[in-house]
Amino acid sequence: SQPLGAQLLVLRGVALKLVFLLRACRQFPGCGNIVTFSQFLFIAVEGFIFEANFGRKKPAIPIRYYFIMVAMFFTVSVVNNYALNLNIAMPLHMIFRSGSLIASMALGIIILKKRYSVSKYTSIALVSLGIFTCTFMSAKQVASDSSLNEEDGLQVFLWWLLGIAALTFALLMSARMGIFQEMLYKQFGKHSKEALFYNHALPLPGFLLLAPNIYHHALLFSQSEPFQVPVIGLTLPIMWFYLFMNVITQYVCIRGVFILTTECTSLTVTLVVTLRKFVSLIFSILYFSNPFTAWHWLGTTFVFVGTLMYTEVWNSLGPFLARWRKRPKVE
């Protein structure tokens, strides 16, 4: 069925995307901007042709609202990428961004005056505890780096604190964008594919501010070792191959999420996104041997158990398990 295909698209897309992203980041840690720019450009061009019909189709939601949404979206993307330059390890980056439930709940209470059940608050407490555990243990690892003298160690730790502040800001801004988008959809109806196009097309001029960094990494990419692409036999610098494959797999992933939002319940979407984060986390640790202690594993468990509690997956599994127990036994 289409929803199942979408789930496989998301999980397959994120696993492949992570291979190419982490390989690029390992060789050039500051390459986040050129990666983001390439993803935005590809999705914008595809949307301009197939969604906007070369600019002839009028948007269903007034474009001024997209400009506000885009300012938030662009800020979140750039700040999240920049955090990787501030001594933030990729596993911690992923775990921290899993705290979107906390930020959404907090802003929902403040802005939309929402109230939640005890189980919701418990799940958020678990996620918070998990993120705190991983953050604290990573702080200890950074602070106790024996290869640094005291002055350098303090400087590294201060940069790490700035990275945590950047991730926190991005988390809150992302939650605020979600609330803004929710209010727009209530007013004008759901137009997810249109939003996907404008969220990627309108920020493109903003990348001019990052042009020197993008150009610098384009030169570095061009100087990387040559690589012969299988099947077609084309030879190009390996970093350009990684970038191209990352852009394609990112598009597959986003396309899968779009199909899910139109075909499945929000519970299914949340579960798939949670699995996506889990796959990303486990893959980055095992494939690239990132430092991950038992405390990190405990924190990660708290994050994902809390997320599953928040989605009330147990309530959905109850009727299924009851039917399974009542199935006729085959003699």
pLDDT digits over 85-141, tens only?
777 776 677 677 667 767 777 888 888 787 878 887 888 788 878 877 877 776 665
CA 120/CA 117 separation, integer angstroms: 5
pLDDT above 60 (res 270): no
CA 117/CA 132 separation, integer angstroms: 23
76 in Cβ contact with 177 (< 8 Å)? yes
77 in Cβ contact with 148 (< 8 Å)? no
pLDDT digits over 50-96, tens only?
888 888 888 888 999 999 988 887 788 788 878 877 777 766 776 77
Which pLDDT score, from 0 to 100, does residue 259 have? Answer: 66
Phi and psi at 36, nearest 5°, equal -60, -45
pLDDT above 80 (res 248): yes
CA 116/CA 175 separation, integer angstroms: 17
Mean pLDDT, the chain, whole residue set: 75
pLDDT above 60 (res 223): yes
Q: Report how far apart, in Å, the C-alpha atoms of 279 and of each of 71, 174, 207, 282 are.
A: 30, 22, 30, 5
Percent above pLDDT 70 for the chain? 67
Q: Which residues contact 3 (CB under 8 A, 6 or more apart)?
A: 259, 260, 263, 264, 268
264 in Cβ contact with 9 (< 8 Å)? no
Helix then strand count (H, E) for the chain reads: 13, 2
pLDDT above 80 (res 40): yes
30 in Cβ contact with 24 (< 8 Å)? no
Regarding pTM above 0.75, the answer is no
